[in-house]
Structure 1
Amino acid sequence: MATTRRRTSFLLLLLASLFLLSSSSSTDSFLLGGCTQQTYAPDSPYAFNLNSLLTSLVNSATYSSFNNFTILGSSPQDVVYGLYQCRGDLSMPDCAACVIRAVSQVGGLCPQTCGGALQLEGCYVKYDNVMFLGVEDRSVVLKKCGPSVGYEPETMSRRDAVLAGLASAAGPYRVGGTGEVQGVAQCVGDLTLGQCQDCVSEAIGRLRNDCGMADYGDMFLGKCYARYSTGKAPSDFEDPPDFEDPDEKRRKKKKKGKNSRLARTIGVSAAVSAAVSTAVSAGVAFLLTTYVTSKRKPPEPVKKGEPQPPERITPPQKNICDCGACE
């Protein structure tokens, strides 16, 4: 009984530390998430392998902005694949803090499902029992277009020039801008340079076609994204999410208007205290096993007149599992 209380107290302290350290950061703002329809038994080999995978993701995020893992099992049904990708401008402490938050939230979003994915402002996490590492995916998972700026050919010309610069740039993480017009694009690290180029080019093309003269646009494909902002109208990447874990309930309302929308997104986040690294090494295993299958409260309805939250994408069911790990 005393041991249980000590563990519970340590967990609460760990969560409180992470909450306080990240409360001023926009990197953990929810953008989108999705789950497969297949489920696994709580005490199955797949559940054990999934916990091992998520632990590996969190540990790796303390020293690398991208990594992927494959956890093998005694049968094909027990194999789990996973990866994480941090935004290219994040420091290692910020990357680690974001991945911890993503792993915690995806467990509540997708309880006991064989696959799940979560995109926060600062990082992306995905796992599945179907092999997806190195596989191209240019399907649209999130599209957001801001209000129209009206007929302003100079602004749209600058926007197109910034997007063209992103399309012609090299590397998985690309930023550019001129004046108030800013843009950013990034690929998941498991793509080749050629696959990354194809994905970013398609995302940018869709932005031009679908968002027209919008003040800002976000286009998230399966393995990359492209975003821009002209700064002509009030906008904020931190729109109300359609999923929020209990930790978020106590957070203060975000202040508006001091910083531009994209400056917060592509700017370098303030360094997170060394307490994150201490919390990761001391409590990540217990945090994962406790919260991977934790429940989350349903999202609050969007009030009339407020911007619509990002849609949640649920991939179609794939009959991969037999009666072993997945039910």
Structure 2
Amino acid sequence: MGLIRKRYFLFLFNVYWFLVLPMTDADNTELIYKGCAEQKLQDPSGIFSQNLKSLLDSLVSVSQSGKRVFFTTTSGEGQNVVMGLYQCRGDLSDSACYDCVSKVPDLLDKLCGKVVAARIQLIGCYLRYEIVGFKQVPETQLLYKVCGSKKASYDDGFEERRESAFGMVESGVKNTGNLFYTGSYQSLYVLGQCEGDLAKDDCGDCVKSAEDQAKAQCGDSISAQIYLHKCSISYSFYYKKGSSTSSSPGRAIEKIFSFPCFVVLTMYYTCVSSLPGEKRSLDTQRTVALAVGGFAALGFLIVCLLCLKSVLKKKGDKY
């Protein structure tokens, strides 16, 4: 009984491993882009470096307090002042915000070195700094874009849905307290956010500029990320009754077989291991034959159906 119980718990653990862990969210500390000024920091006295370190320490400390999604501050005096800020995505928890911001100082040093201004954009946050007198860029300056490779079909109503979703974002960022909005409209997920010191109307104008950039830069891509100096937007379109656009025959087969096969084999191993020796041998041969034959037949059927679907779709696209 003890052996059976141990293998039963092993089975439950493997179910958790295959079901729960793949569902975790994307890493909020993953790098999206870096922006490093070309001008190196001339600092023979070390004052700027000291002020920059104090600035970064202050930003990380405030993010750890869990009270602010956006924070800006300065360090130093006179001509040695360094200004900096961080902003976390509006739907992040306090701990996730801190985890994100705390990763940036090391990345700044590794990716940019000692420069007069820099910006690091991660999935969940960004941090930037600049020395006093650094040339300012417009609020709607395009900094970075990511356009999805998959294009919308002519008959799926993508452009109309995107226009409606964009309207929701423009209104949403102005009507929320933290200049952040996320929502969906007819299978199109959209997110928008402005830097925390923007006025509401300016935020709406910035988001509108980001939307225009998305149309101009990404065209009919069904997903995009647009980063301007003071705001950003992103969207992803899921079609065919909510199925993800990342779906493919290969991924479909993987999803169908990976977990069920593992569960069946684990259950089989658990049950058979508890049988007497002779019966276990006979049942092993019979079960293996049935399992292999059954999954082979099921796999062949699924592949045939997927191929047929692909052929029909290609024929339909010709007309």
Q: Could you tell me the TM-score, scaled by structure 1's length?
A: 0.60
Indicate which of 23, 29, 46 corresponds to 1:44.
46
Amino acid of the residue matched to residue 114 of structure 1?
Answer: V
Equivalent pairs counted in the alignment come to 213
Corresponding residue for 1:118? 120
Corresponding residue for 1:156? 159
| Alpha carbons of structure 1 residues 210 and 24: separation in structure 2 relative to 1, 3 Å | closer
Once the two structures are TM-superposed, the CA of residue 70 in structure 1 deviates from its matched residue by 1.1
Indicate which of 195, 205, 226 corresponds to 2:212.
205
Post-superposition Cα deviations, 1:23-58, rounded to whole Å, max 9, x if no partner, equal 975201111111112323375111111000000000
Indicate which of 62, 75, 78 corresponds to 1:71.
75
CA distance in 2, matches of 1:195, 1:134: 17
**Structural mapping, 1:14-163, within 5 Å:** 25-36=26-37, 37-41=39-43, 44-62=46-64, 63=66, 64-73=68-77, 75-76=78-79, 78-130=80-132, 136-146=138-148, 147-163=150-166
CA distance in 2, matches of 1:97, 1:42: 33
SS in 1 for 2:87: strand
Contact map agreement 1:41 1:112 (CA 8 A) in 2: no
> Which has more helix, going by share of residues?
2
Unaligned runs of 5+ in 1: 1-22, 236-256, 259-327
Contact map agreement 1:173 1:186 (CA 8 A) in 2: yes
Amino acid of the residue matched to residue 26 of structure 1?
Answer: D
Contact map agreement 1:149 1:215 (CA 8 A) in 2: yes
Contact map agreement 1:81 1:132 (CA 8 A) in 2: no
Corresponding residue for 1:231? 238
CA distance in 2, matches of 1:228, 1:24: 17
SS in 1 for 2:157: helix
Amino acid of the residue matched to residue 224 of structure 1?
Answer: C
Contact map agreement 2:137 2:229 (CA 8 A) in 1: no
SS in 2 for 1:176: strand
Question: What RMSD in Å do the two structures reach over aligned CA positions?
Answer: 2.5
SS in 2 for 1:67: strand
Once the two structures are TM-superposed, the CA of residue 210 in structure 1 deviates from its matched residue by 2.8
Amino acid of the residue matched to residue 93 of structure 2?
Answer: S
| Alpha carbons of structure 1 residues 157 and 132: separation in structure 2 relative to 1, 3 Å | farther
Once the two structures are TM-superposed, the CA of residue 135 in structure 1 deviates from its matched residue by 7.8
**Structural mapping, 1:187-198, within 5 Å:** 187-198=194-205
Q: Using CA pairs below 8 Å that are at least 6 residues apart, which structure has the higher relative contact order? A: 1
Corresponding residue for 1:180? 187
CA distance in 2, matches of 1:152, 1:70: 52
Which structure's CA Rg is the greater one?
A: 2
Q: Could you tell me the TM-score, scaled by structure 2's length?
A: 0.62
